[in-house]
Amino acid sequence: MIFRELNRGKCKTYLAISAATGKAAVIDPLREKIERYLTVLAYHGWRLDLIIDTHTHADHRSGAMELGELADAPVAMHRLAPAPHVSIHVEDGQTLKVGEEELCVLHTPGHTVDSISLLAKDRVFTGDVLFIHGTGRADLPGGDAGIQYDSIMRKLFTLSDEVLVFPAHDYRGHTQSSIGEEKRSNPRLAGKSRDEYIELMNSLGLPLPEGIQETLQPNQSDLDAGALTWPPLSQLNQVRQLSSAQLRDRIASANPPLLVDVRQESEYRGELGHIAGAHLIPLKELPERTGELGNAKGRDIVVICRVGVRSATAAAILTGLGFEQVWNLGGGMIEWKDAQLPVERGP
């Protein structure tokens, strides 16, 4: 396999090319550099076969969807990734083919719930979970320092010491490290217990990335800036959550809630299916279609999407528009399906 880092900046985008076939995978493309990637690919005669985002990015707009459209290449992410453009949902232990070569998926949550690392023969792409002499922050939506510690200790630090480490960010000019080097000298991890790591991460007091909602929300919904007014994180944190079992019971009760599914139509009719009776209003159309919710301002409304992320945004928007009894199906249709609750498919 041939490997290249394409950005020469603090955000890292990697290209992995099968030498025998010229087929290539791009990992974590930045939206503003798509033309550069296509130029490099064309210059070398490599064919873009696969695009992978290691997680839902909060600090830059992902180029995955647009690059996928331009190059006719599928986008792979973990199954808990919220964005609708993902066509290959992967899980821990799965392999992704690049020509005759393979990238093995390790689910390494903690920076986000959908974080994966990708193991090639001699190297691992660690996304924002493990950095060179650092780790990705665990305080953004979906982050959890304890889970991140477990991902690093149980998945990454059980790889061979010689495996090279290539993170999605580096702020200090490093270009590569190794598992052995990070085990020995990563200042956040070496000699630290799980509790010490959690305490350290929780005491960092980092400011939120500037304009986080204007980056994160489009990345997780495929909607461009201007499509919606994004609710601030503080409002999202106030959204009331229902589990799949709670929703099942509410649907069976004498006063069932109105179900609003905010995915795209292809998802609603697709493999995951939808809950019987759920009214489809894609997130983008929600503000102008609240009239369809009739006199539901006093009625209970439960908002639904793939993993509960886009629907949390929808719930905050509805609350802001004066709907008082709004809940989010936390975990979305993925959790509903995992709980083996009934779905409808097709039209």
Residues that bind Fe ion (CB under 5 A): 57, 128
Closest distance between Fe ion and the C-beta of residue 111, in Å? 6
Closest distance between Fe ion and the C-beta of residue 108, in Å? 12
Closest distance between Fe ion and the C-beta of residue 33, in Å? 16
Closest distance between Fe ion and the C-beta of residue 242, in Å? 28
Strand order across the 23-27 sheet:
2-5, 14-17, 23-27, 47-52, 75-78, 88-90
Q: Chain-centre distance of CA 157, in angstroms?
A: 23
Q: At a CB cut-off of 8 Å and minimum separation 6, what does 46 contact?
A: 15, 17, 22, 23, 24, 40
First to last CA, the chain: 44
Query: Which lies closer to Fe ion via its Cβ, residue 143 or residue 257?
Result: 143
Query: Which lies closer to Fe ion via its Cβ, residue 57 or residue 61?
Result: 57
328, 261 contact by CB (below 8 A): no
Query: Which lies closer to Fe ion via its Cβ, residue 114 or residue 128?
Result: 128
Closest distance between Fe ion and the C-beta of residue 156, in Å? 16
Q: DSSP string spanning 87-113? A: -EEE-TT-EEEETTEEEEEEE--SSST
Query: Which lies closer to Fe ion via its Cβ, residue 51 or residue 247?
Result: 51
Q: Which residue has the CB atom at the shortest distance from Fe ion?
A: 128
Closest distance between Fe ion and the C-beta of residue 46, in Å? 26
Q: Chain-centre distance of CA 282, in angstroms?
A: 19
Query: Which lies closer to Fe ion via its Cβ, residue 138 or residue 163?
Result: 138
Total residue length of the chain: 347
Query: Which lies closer to Fe ion via its Cβ, residue 216 or residue 239?
Result: 216
